[in-house]
Each structure stands twice: as C-alpha cells, then as structure tokens.
Structure 1
C-alpha cells in the first residue's frame, strides 16, 4: 500500500493536484501496517515463541531422560535431573 502510494506520487510529480491522493494512500497504508504489526503480529509472534520454547524444553527433557536411562543412571538421579528442568522452566515463567 505505502509503496503503491509513493509510486502514484512519483508518476504524478508534474500534476500537483494529484500528489495529495498518493501521499494519503501511502500514509494510510503505513498507519494500517503499523497498527497490524503492533496489535496482531507482535503479540502473535510472542505467543508462538513461548509455545516453541515449551515444546523445545519438553523434547530436550525427553532426550536427557533417555540418555540417562541408556547410560544406566539410577532412577532417583534421573528423576532429580528431570525435575530440575521443570523447576527451571517454572522459575523462568514466573520471572517473565
């Protein structure tokens, strides 16, 4: 939208009466873009990042548990290791 408005302005540089419409289109498109970014896309990306972090942590925890079982570690030690993941994630959530 903003680029199209500026193209319209550039095409009509010789006719000052048409410049206002092109500038208005560019300005309105810019305002809509800024509004959409701040009201829709930034909050959406924040939620998406949080969900991806939770999924990554869960997979990392599963891999850690499987490797510990494979290494023959005691179940109590494995439990403590995996609980550390949970406690760490809860502390990070509370800090955020």
Structure 2
C-alpha cells in the first residue's frame, strides 16, 4: 500500500467554505492547513521525480497529483479515460 502526504487547506480564496487538497505544499492563500496521510488505491501508482509528484491511472494517463486531487469532505483523484468517462478514486486517511 502506497502512502501519500497531502495538505487539507482551509479558508482558500474563492473556496472559503470548503476544503482544498494539495500535494507537496499548502495552497498559497490558505488561512490554515492540516498535513494528512492517505492510502493510494491499488489501481493507481504514485511516484516522484524532479518535476514533482505524479499519479498513473490504469488506462495509462499520467497526471501531476495537484491536477487530479479533488474533494471536499474526503480527498479523491478524478481522471478521465480515453472515452472521456469520469473515474473517481477515493483516498482513505491513514
């Protein structure tokens, strides 16, 4: 099981009433944040290189984590396959 450290940001501009999730650094306009650890689903692979942290989806697409990390109550990765169907992978806090 892969573990990823992300930030739950509160009070961000244009999203004051909901949480914004980021990886690597807290969001720049956040009033405060919590660093949390999440378990990555088995279908996904997360890796780091010199350009940042990336996630590989089962259909072969690779995204920067901050491009596909969403959620309000619970963090999730959202990706679109080659038929533009939306796939949501929820991340469980460890």
| Structure with greater contact order relative to length (CA < 8 Å, sep ≥ 6) | 2
Q: TM-score, normalised by structure 1?
A: 0.20
> Is the helix fraction higher in 1 or 2?
1
The structure where strand makes up a greater share of residues is 2
TM-score (norm. length: structure 2): 0.20
